[in-house]
């Protein structure tokens, strides 16, 4: 299939296919839009089933970054990169350095950061070959604790404060005490979100690819472990997708009993039609590219002279952004995702004279 006729191609400015025979690196760098600034987005490593799956993911993720930065009012465009491979088996220093060289060839139009399957040390290894990486500086995090560039704490905190806005909108309460939450995915962000929710008094049900993460959450947060697709059909108040995208689809939508969808994963909906389908079922969807912007906000402040207080205040505006989107959605009788997309486009689409 041609990239230009791919259903997820959306006027992307550049798509780079990267292959290094020495290390076996296979990767794709996608730059969606740079109208507001350089395209900043994570470098993901994942054992995709095939090249088509990887291409679909990087096209969707890079587009989402454009909208994420625009709604968050950041001077950044949207880009993303994916490395095809199992991060627990195939990641090597030489492979990461090869990826750094490919990022460098793009000349600063794309800036890489941490993502699923990559870590701050991985990005520091790439930085041996390119200056176009971010989220790797030692500093104080938004939580006041020492941070090594990891955007996960800011992402999780942003999801938490935004989630509370969704709960207030849908359930009419500021309190999360006793809230029943199902979390799919306990990676760097999902686990931190679970901690925030546990400390706020929520009851948790969790699932993850790795049993040790599930057991850890059970021990630390008194979470109930759920296996596989059972996570979708739980009679909970809120479902938080925090793993891969496209989890709200034709198979899972009929299973949902939660009244709110609010999580950290990118591209949670199979396609944009599911925004309206959720609304028809009375389920409030917090648009993921609005909710999970905390990490890129924090990285922006690292790049521009880090100030933890300013970064935290900007992350907390995620709740205000969502409240405004929910209000406009109600007034216009349009799905919240559609409203959020139009707000972003009003900011990043260049108007012709």
To 10 degrees, what angle do helices 294-303 and 51-71 make? Answer: 70
What's the rounded Cα separation, in Å, for the pair 158 and 291?
7
Query: What residues contact residue 352 under an 8 Å CB cut-off, 6+ apart?
Result: none
Q: How far is CA 109 from CA 15, 30, 103, 134, in A?
A: 12, 10, 9, 13
To 10 degrees, what angle do helices 336-348 and 273-280 make? Answer: 150
To 10 degrees, what angle do helices 336-348 and 308-332 make? Answer: 120
Vertex 89 angle, CA 84 and 90, to 5°: 45
What's the rounded Cα separation, in Å, for the pair 48 and 55?
10
Backbone angles phi, psi at 31, to 5 degrees: -110, 115
Q: Which of 80, 257, 310, 334 is catalytic?
A: 80
What's the rounded Cα separation, in Å, for the pair 63 and 69?
10
HEC sequence for 204-215:
EEEECCCHHHHH
Vertex 224 angle, CA 155 and 143, to 5°: 25
Q: Where are the alpha helices (DSSP H) in 172-271?
A: 188-199, 211-221
Which helix (H) or strand (E) element contains residue 101? helix 93-105
Active site residue 80: yes
What's the rounded Cα separation, in Å, for the pair 137 and 148?
6
Find the distance separating the first CA and the last CA of the chain, reported in whole Å.
35
What's the rounded Cα separation, in Å, for the pair 34 and 14?
10
Question: Which residues are annotated as catalytic?
Answer: 80
């Amino acid at each position: 299939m041609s990239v230009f006729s791919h259903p997820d191609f959306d006027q992307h400015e550049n798509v780079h296919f990267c292959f290094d025979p020495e290390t076996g690196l296979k990767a794709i760098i996608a730059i969606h839009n740079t109208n507001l600034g350089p395209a900043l987005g994570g470098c993901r490593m994942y054992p995709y089933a095939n090249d088509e799956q990887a291409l679909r993911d990087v096209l969707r993720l890079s587009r989402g970054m454009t909208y994420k930065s625009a709604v968050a009012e950041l001077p950044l465009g949207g880009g993303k990169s994916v490395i095809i491979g199992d991060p627990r088996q195939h990641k090597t220093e030489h492979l990461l350095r090869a990826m750094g060289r490919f990022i460098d060839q793009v000349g600063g139009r794309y800036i890489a950061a941490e993502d699923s399957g990559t870590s701050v040390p991985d990005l520091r290894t790439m930085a041996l070959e390119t200056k176009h990486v971010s989220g790797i500086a030692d500093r104080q995090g938004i939580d006041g604790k020492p941070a090594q560039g990891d955007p996960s704490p800011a992402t999780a905190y942003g999801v938490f404060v935004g989630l509370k806005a969704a709960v207030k909108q849908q359930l009419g309460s500021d309190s999360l005490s006793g809230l029943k939450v199902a979390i799919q995915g306990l990676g760097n962000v999902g686990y931190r979100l679970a901690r925030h929710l546990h400390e706020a008094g929520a009851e948790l049900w969790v699932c993850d690819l790795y049993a040790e993460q599930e057991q850890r959450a059970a021990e630390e947060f008194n979470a109930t472990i759920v296996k596989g697709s059972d996570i979708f059909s739980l009679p909970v108040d809120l479902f938080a997708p925090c793993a891969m995208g496209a989890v709200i689809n034709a198979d899972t939508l009929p299973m949902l009993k939660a009244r709110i969808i609010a999580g950290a994963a990118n591209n949670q909906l199979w396609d944009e039609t599911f925004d309206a389908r959720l609304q028809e079922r009375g389920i409030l969807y917090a648009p993921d590219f609005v909710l999970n912007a905390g990490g890129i906000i924090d990285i922006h402040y690292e790049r521009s002279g880090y100030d933890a207080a300013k970064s935290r205040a900007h992350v907390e505006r995620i709740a205000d952004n969502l409240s405004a989107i929910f209000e406009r959605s109600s007034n216009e009788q349009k799905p919240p995702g559609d409203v959020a997309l139009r707000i972003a486009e009003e900011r990043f689409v260049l108007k012709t004279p």
